[in-house]
Structure 1
Amino acid sequence: MEERTFAYILKISERIARASKVKKLRPLSKEIAENVLKREGVIIIPGVRGSGKTTLLSELYSKEKNAIFINAEVLAKQGVSLLDYLHYSYAKGFRVFLIDEIHILPEWEKDVKIFYDETKSKIVISGSSAIALRVKGSELSRRATFYELKPLSFREYLYFRVGRNFPKRRLEYLLDLKKRRKLEKMVVPYLDYFLPYLQFDALPAAFFERKEDVYINIVERTLRYDLAYIRPIDNFYIDVSYKILKFISLSPPSKVSYSRISSQFGVSINFVRDLLYSLEQTGIIYRVAPYGKGKVRKEEKVLMPLSFRSALCLHYNENPDKGGLREDFFVQHVGKCFYFKTGIERRTPDFVVDDCVFEIGGPSKGFEQIKKYKKAFLVKEAILLEKEKEVPIYLFGFLY
């Protein structure tokens, strides 16, 4: 590699890192940074576009010794191999390698594996999808540690809006009436912020930039560029992706199915399944697996990262489905969960987390759908709830 090319990539990458540095790091980023600084080996940080990955890597860049910041997009535009650039950097004395937006590079996992096996250097990677990075990161097997950077939690949002650093709580704390009472009393004065958070402010890029088109720009970049790094695409594939994403955002989650999408857009169910898998890999949708026997034959529930549903509905001059917003919020905060597949004439609860069953609903939601389950809870859109089995939905915003 020519020294001039190396220096140019280094200069542009450093400029990006400096521009992304902030004075006040979001709590989740701070927590991840503290953990990463203590670790060695390969560390992978996935997150949807706009969640603050570059800012996090910029923070690490300012703290790590002998570190180099590498923007993969700059590398790709210069036509330089990742492995060649890593070797050249290592020869110059760099020992910590921070690689941003790595999903842009084809077969990056092979280059990282080779380089790590050769040098045992510390390598920190960011990219736009937890699913895609985990699939490719499997090539690294036991070498990699994952830290996912989700959109802002409600707890983090209040940290920036009102300057209070509320405690992070575990799920079992929220399910204990006496314990959660303390948190409720602290949070109730700030509940006017909950709706703006749900509808627009959950993504750091949107909250800090205050531009209405942030989400639309992310969707466009995701569909036109990120999809191409996952699979071959053409104009038809992009066009159908836009239409299906619009359908998902405007529909209640219970109305989104492979067969309905297939018939509405004139494509096969296999095409729909493949496209949704690809969209999930970009991080622009979530797919929640079904719970129970025969789940292999059942479809996943399709949800969205928080605020994307509202932003797309606003773009199309429609009101977002309240149930969809609640489920987006719940799934984003609890993380790993399953959903109950609802039969045609059989109503069931919404989600299973560990051994607990949850039904998500509005203020008037009743116990009918969960009464036969021992560890079952109503998650309701309410300020204060007196019953042990009823939990205000906003409290789940304090899980991270």
Structure 2
Amino acid sequence: MEELINRYRNLLLSIKTDFKRSHYNKINWKGRAICILGARGTGKSTLMLQYLKENLPLDKSLYLSLDDLYFKQNSLIELTERFYQLGGRNLLLDEVHKYEDWQSAVKNMYDFYPDLKLIISGSSILALQKSQADLSRRLVYYELPELSFREYLSLKLKIKLEKYDIIEILNNHQKIVEQNVTVIPDLMLQFEHYKKTGAYPFFLEDERDYVSKINQLINVIIDYDLPEGKDISTSTQAKLKKLLYLLSTSVPFSPNITKLAEKTETTRPRLLEMLHMLEVSKLIKNLRSSSKGISMMNKPDKIFLANTNLIYALALENQNQGNIRETFFYNQLENSGAVLTTAKSGDFLVNNQFEFEIGGKNKTFDQIAKIPNSYIAADEMLYGMGNKIPLYLFGFLY
């Protein structure tokens, strides 16, 4: 165990706390047992280590990544018992799904050590979500999304930027733009960078490798994470990747499930199941009407990749601007906690209250002119006017 302690202490030295994700403050860190869900690359490990570094006594705390080779031959329960006997009271378990029968291990730790604080996380969302039925009385679940445009700017430029709720943006967008333009004079250029290479914190390492890392991330999710939560064949994995490519090059449309099934050489029911798997894995977002429940067999009204970076990485030169704009809007609003469904005339209905049409700077209100509480989220414009609001501003919601 001493080697594991030394390893985590050395790791802790490299953790910076000057920038924290906005979701950091949404977590009740005082809870006895919490689980942080989120797609690969969103910064879950850093979030845990930041909390440990600033709030927990090091001599009573231990961070472990359960994909460590140590756990191929050693018991997590036995290590926990030894750690507890030595006075340890805070155990942080990363990549928890990599440990065989981890659900039973977490359950036993929770039940047998009442004053042991547990913080766990993992990248296989499907595997972690399957555990919620068994561990719901013990764990409180939180979700960490990709970086918002605001977080990207804060992290890249090392500046503190205010976040706004949707009502503030709708009512005061001109004033908000004025406040931020003085701090970020190249705001529109930064927005273009964000759409291509800003959703994941690893953009800081080397942007030249960013697209390769996105493709690696997709492969790891489909080839390794998904099989940990569901029994799928290699042929299905190949079809999932093909489906992602098809979606990356599409225009925003109501999908023809039968045709998509033909293009991916599968059946209609199997395609709906594949769309569900990709949605749970946080690789796509399925938009539905407010009257539809979220069911695997319900056809989505629109299908988007989870964020714009995935589009640029997969579609290369075949991106559709309408798809990129709507994907950005959907991603930022849903990640902030808003509920989006299909709209009668526009592209999105937000919180069952506001209707939005998404487009470029020349987009008109013709389509939504008679709709109350209707707005245009317009790309390619720095300042808005009235109910026409710059698209990038919705990246300041979290």
Q: TM-score range by the shorter chain?
A: 0.7 to 0.9
SS in 1 for 2:389: strand
Equivalent-residue separation in structure 1 for 2:252 and 2:99 (angstroms): 33
Q: Alignment RMSD, CA only?
A: 2.7
Match of 2:49 among 53, 58, 62: 58
Equivalent position amino acid for 1:180 in 2:
H
Contact 2:330 2:340 in 1 (8 A): no
Q: In the alignment, does 2:103 pair up with 1:109?
A: yes
Q: 1:130-279 residue pairs with structure 2 within 5 A?
A: 133-176=128-171, 179-188=172-181, 189=185, 190-210=187-207, 211-212=209-210, 213-254=212-253, 256-279=255-278
Q: Which one-letter code corresponds to 2:62 in the other structure?
A: I
Which digits, 9 at most, give the CA deviation of each residue in 1:216-261, with x for residues without a partner? 1111111211111111233212211221111122222426443232
Aligned counterparts of 2:293 and 2:71: Cα–Cα separation in 1:
47
Q: 1:397 corresponds to which residue?
A: 395
Cα distance in structure 1, aligned partners of 2:261 and 2:13: 44
Contact kept in structure 2, 1:249 and 1:312, CA below 8 Å: yes
* Partner in structure 1 of residue 327 of structure 2: 328
Distance 1:362 1:303 in 2: 18
Number of aligned residue pairs: give it: 381
Check conservation: 1:349, 1:369, Cα contact below 8 A.
Answer: no
What is the letter of the counterpart of residue 231 of structure 1? K
- Which whole-Å CA distance do the structure 1 matches of 2:378 and 2:48 have between them? 37
Q: Give the whole-Å Cα distance in 2 for the aligned partners of 1:247 and 1:77.
A: 39
Q: C-alpha offsets along residues 175-195 of structure 1, whole Å, 9 cap, x if unaligned?
A: 11xx22221112343222100
Residues 29-68 of structure 1: per-residue CA shift (max 9 Å, x gap): 6535xx554x121112122211111112222232312111
1:67 alignment partner AA? S
Q: What letter is aligned with 1:99? A: L
Aligned residues of 1:290 and 1:339 also touching (Cα < 8 A): yes
Please say if residues 149 and 198 of structure 2, whose CA atoms lie closer than 8 Å, have aligned partners that are also in contact.
no
Q: SS of 1:172's equivalent?
A: helix
Give the one of 322, 325, 340 matched to 2:342: 340
Range with bigger deviation, 301-310 or 100-109? 100-109
Maintained 8 Å contact 1:289/1:299 = yes
Distance 2:20 2:149 in 1: 12
**Helix, strand or coil for the counterpart of 2:357?**
strand
1:310 aligned to 305, 309, 312, which one? 312
In 1, Cα distance between equivalents of 2:255 and 2:20: 33
Q: Of the candidates 70, 87, 90, which is equivalent to residue 84 of structure 2?
A: 90
SS of 1:334's partner is: helix
What's the CA shift for 1:100? 0.9
Deviation by residue 1:105-149 (Cα, 9 ceiling, x = unmatched)? 454334323321332322111222666544423432243333322
2:3 counterpart of 1:24? no
Q: 1:293 to 1:148 in 2, by over 3 A?
A: closer
Question: Using a 3 Å threshold, how does the CA distance of structure 1 residues 171 and 280 change in structure 2: closer, same or farther?
Answer: same
Q: CA deviation at 1:313?
A: 2.0
Q: Give the 3-state SS of the residue equivalent to 1:143 in structure 2.
A: coil
Decide whether the 8 Å contact of 1:130 with 1:148 is kept in 2: no
1:279 Cα deviation (Å)? Answer: 2.1
For 2:254 and 2:63, the matched residues in 1 are separated by 44
**Which letter does structure 1 place at the counterpart of 2:113?**
T
Match of 1:3 in 2: none
Aligned ranges 1:375-386 → 2 under 5 Å: 375-381=373-379, 382-386=381-385
Task: Write the deviation string for residues 290-311 of structure 1: whole angstroms up to 9, x where unpaired.
Answer: 3236886442532223211112
Aligned residue type for 2:87: G
1:299 paired residue number: 300
Identity %: 27
Question: What CA distance in whole angstroms lies between the structure 2 residues aligned with 1:334 and 1:24?
Answer: 25
Q: What is the distance in 1 between the residues matched to 2:98 and 2:359?
A: 39
Please point out which of 70, 73, 94 is paired with 2:64.
70
Cα distance in 2 for partners of 1:175, 1:227 equals 39
CA contact (8 A) 2:148 2:199 kept: yes
The answer to whether the 8 Å contact 1:49/1:128 transfers is yes
Q: TM-score, normalised by structure 1?
A: 0.85
Q: In the alignment, residue 197 of structure 1 is paired with which amino acid?
A: Y
Structure (1/2) with the larger helix percentage:
1
Unaligned runs of 5+ in 2: none
1:69 aligns to what SS in structure 2?
Answer: strand
Unaligned segments of structure 1, at least 5 residues: 1-5
99 and 320 in structure 1: CA distance in 2 versus 1, 3 angstrom threshold: same
CA contact (8 A) 2:174 2:384 kept: no
Return the alpha-carbon distance in structure 2 between the equivalents of residues 117 and 234 of structure 1.
Answer: 37
For residues 25 and 259 of structure 1, the distance between their equivalents in structure 2, rounded to whole angstroms, comes to: 46
